[in-house]
Amino acid sequence: MKKELVFSGVQPTGNLHLGNYLGALKNFVSLQKSKNCLYCVVDLHAITTFQNPKELNSNILETTAGFLASGLDPNKSIIFNQSSVSGHAELAWILNCVCRMGWLNRMTQFKDKAGKDKEKASVGLYIYPNLMAADILLYKATHVPVGADQKQHLELSRDIAQKFNKDFNHKDFFPLPKPLIQKNISRVMSLRDGTKKMSKSEESDYSRINLKDSSDEIVKKIKKAKTDADPITENIKDYENRPEAYNLLSIYSDLSDQKIETTIKEFLGKDFSSLKAKLSEILVETISPIGKDIDKLMKDKKHLEDVLKKGKQKASIIAEENLKKIREIVGFV
Ligand code: AQP
């Protein structure tokens, strides 16, 4: 049987938020108990949109702090930053030559992020999914915990792996990586608009719960979160046209480790103020300690740099071994 290996990454593009936590970090932590895992601060991805160098530097350390504060253990998982292992960029170039333009043209995240004026988007943003494929395939990772927003990119990684194996006549060289998407809540939505995903780059801070928000801020944001005038009803289908209501119910369910049906039963017939009160409570209980830990860890930057350095050393060993074989397969001397 093939060895299972988990790889995933988070961009150091600003405050980590509840979407990153529930969609990715929480899953990362539970996977490290039973699998070999690599978790990467994907700084090469971050610069596909301009980052102030000073802020990027601090964000790389803060994302590392977010990993540790959420429960990742550098003795169990390999924690490192992407730019420190040059194999990511090298393999990305090879995969740029494997991936087809037509495949990239279908990527919806590029369309969303580039907006109307795609001529002005960086080439890096366009080929971002190939770098993501390289991140995963460099380690021959078999499983990738991600939020549902990354599902399309992961399917592309599988297509690229398959084409590489076929083009170079090396059946099964790259395993086809499988997405691991949280069941209860695969996509945490904005608190202001239940049709948009919660995101770091959304202008309004009221659209998200940041991991570093104070208890007061969390309570205030949940109080102001958009809902509707209807009470909580039993039929799950009723929520198809109530995205904000569904989002709050899903967040509460995930944080309480219960099915959404159980949450609906708990609040049946009540209005949203009772759900919001309980949701604030559980959010403060879960998120505040993480935020406090991030602040504490950021006071010892040397420790965070050491964690990344040790992770880089471990990741480089796997990367170099695989790259050696990849260079040989491609025909480089
Ligand atoms: N709203 C979300 N719901 C569920 N999962 C989410 N993730 C991000 N937002 C949500 C997951 O978090 C991991 C790291 O994401 P990322 O920071 O590398 O990139 P992103 O998806 O582009 O996150 P943002 O917040 O939207 O960043 P910006 O605004 O900078 O683009 C991924 O597994 C992602 O699925």
Task: Answer left, alpha or beta for residue 59, where phi above 0 means left and psi between -120 and 50 means alpha.
Answer: alpha
Please indicate whether residue 82, judged by its CB atom, sits closer than 6 Å to ligand 1. Answer: no
Residues 100 and 30 in one domain: yes
* Cβ contact 64:81 at 8 Å: yes
Query: In sequence order, what are the residues at sequence separation of 6 or more whose Cβ sits closer than 8 angstroms to the Cβ of residue 317?
Result: none
**Per-residue pLDDT band at 80 (split at 50, 70, 90):** very high
| Domain extent for 244 | 205-296
* 91: Cα within 13 Å, side-chain hemisphere: 32
Inside any domain, residue 197? no
pTM of the model: 0.94
Nearest ligand 1 atom to alpha carbon 20: 12
Residues 139 and 89 in one domain: yes
Mean pLDDT of 297-317: 98
Active site includes 200? yes
Range among 72-86, 169-183, 248-262 with highest mean pLDDT value? 72-86
pLDDT in the model for residue 1: 46
Mean pLDDT of 298-305: 98
**Per-residue pLDDT band at 226 (split at 50, 70, 90):** very high
Residues 38 and 154 in one domain: yes
One-letter amino acid at 99 equals C
Residues 90 and 142 in one domain: yes
Nearest ligand 1 atom to alpha carbon 49: 30
| Ligand 1 probe mutation, 70, 199, 244, most atoms within 8 A of CB | 199
197-208: pLDDT as tens digits: 999 888 899 999
CATH for 52: 3.40.50.620
93-109: pLDDT as tens digits: 999 999 999 999 999 99
Catalytic site residue from 35, 151, 196, 200: 200
The number of residues making up the chain comes to 333
Residues 288 and 316 in one domain: no
Q: How many domains does the chain have?
A: 2
Question: Measured in angstroms, how far is the CA atom of residue 178 from the centroid of ligand 1?
Answer: 18
Q: Which long-range contacts (CB under 8 A, 24 or more apart) does 217-224 make?
A: 218/280, 218/283, 218/284, 218/287, 218/288, 219/280, 219/284, 221/191, 222/191, 222/276, 222/279, 222/280, 222/283, 223/276, 223/280, 224/191
Please indicate whether residue 197, judged by its CB atom, sits closer than 6 Å to ligand 1. Answer: yes
Residues 53 and 181 in one domain: yes
* 198: Cα within 13 Å, side-chain hemisphere: 31
Residues 179 and 96 in one domain: yes
* Cβ contact 189:243 at 8 Å: yes
More confident residue, 236 or 83: 83
Active site includes 197? yes
Catalytic site residue from 140, 197, 221, 276: 197
State the chain's mean pLDDT as an integer.
95
Please indicate whether residue 20, judged by its CB atom, sits closer than 6 Å to ligand 1. Answer: yes
Q: Which of 176, 89, 75, 139 is nearest to 318 (CA)?
A: 139
* Cβ contact 82:135 at 8 Å: yes
Is the pLDDT score of 324 beyond 70? yes
Inside any domain, residue 290? yes
